[in-house]
Structure 1
Amino acid sequence: MPGRQSSIDTIQRELTAFARRARHKASQLHPDLSLVTYSILDLITERGGCRAADVAAHFMLDKSTVSRQVTALERLGLLRREADPDDQRGQILRATEAGLSLLRDANEQRRTAFTTRFTDWSDEDVARFAAYLARYGEEG
């Protein structure tokens, strides 16, 4: 099926380009913020706080990688650790007010960029694209 393979090649190329743009955008939010650290902060905030092991499992990262990224976020003043009320040996990671502010600004910038990008798309096309992305994400 040459048509299908061509489509898969296009998907791969476009998703790679998307990831590169996302990395670039993350560095624009904060000069010391990578896409990985931004994504970790976003996940922690989305969940209302979580353990580093949960972050590692979610992103399929090594715990040492998460530890380095969490330390970087702490140094930037974007993340803090709290004692886990259910396990005093454990820690819950939470965004600081500076981290929450950065994420709010980033979300507004992304929303504006996506709104602009989809200006010429019909509501049906946007809904279909959203459904395809969600479906793709579920199958990972």
Structure 2
Amino acid sequence: MTAAEAVEAVQREMTAFARRARASAGRMHPELSLVSYTLLGHLEERGGCRATDLAAHYALDKSTVSRQVGALERAGLIERRADPDDHRVQVLHLTGTGRRLLAQVTESRRAAFRERLADWPEEDLARFAAYLIRYNAWTPPDAPDA
């Protein structure tokens, strides 16, 4: 396989992976989209953050994040709290319900990955993980945080 063919195969397979991830997210928890799951995960990982930080991190339009945040608030999964350092700023945090739902969906996703990768040799899994980490770590030269 040439480099050009390999790049084409990577693009095709990453597109299929993204499509499958979106579809399976809906099956794992119908009320929690892949975007919502990702935002909840980021809030948990960071211990809360501003909506503008979410938009910047995921390179999403502020209005898109605003709609997602509104839906997550209405569902009782996140709440706004005043920033202790600047009371003009609202920081988004998971609620107890949000933490429980995120843990449930995360475990379902892990189980699905374990099942799909169950017959892979350990060295293949390690190599695949390393390649994904390397791929996702790349930042375009003109990116704001580059």
Both proteins in one fold, TM over 0.5: yes
The alpha-carbon deviation at position 26 of structure 1 amounts to 2.2
- The alignment's TM-score, normalised by the length of structure 2, stands at 0.89
Alignment partners' CA distance in 2, 1:137 and 1:129:
12
The alpha-carbon deviation at position 32 of structure 1 amounts to 3.3
Q: Note the alpha carbon deviations across 1:72-129, whole angstroms, 9 max, x for none.
A: 1001111111111011010110111111111111111121111111121111110111
The alpha-carbon deviation at position 31 of structure 1 amounts to 2.8
Alignment partners' CA distance in 2, 1:79 and 1:101:
12
What is the one-letter code of the residue matched to 1:83?
A
Structure 2 gaps, min length 5: 140-146
Tell me the matched-pair count: 139
> What is the identity percentage for the equivalent residue pairs of Structure 1 and Structure 2?
57
Alignment partners' CA distance in 1, 2:39 and 2:31:
14
Alignment partners' CA distance in 2, 1:18 and 1:96:
30
Moved segments of 4+, more than 6 Å = none
Alignment partners' CA distance in 1, 2:76 and 2:111:
26
Alignment root-mean-square deviation, CA:
1.4
What is the one-letter code of the residue matched to 1:44?
L
Alignment partners' CA distance in 2, 1:57 and 1:117:
32
SS of the counterpart of 2:90?
strand
* Distance change >3 Å, CA 137–CA 114, structure 1 → 2: same
Alignment partners' CA distance in 1, 2:59 and 2:9:
25
The alpha-carbon deviation at position 25 of structure 1 amounts to 2.2
- The alignment's TM-score, normalised by the length of structure 1, stands at 0.92
Give the equivalent residue in structure 2 for 1:41. 40
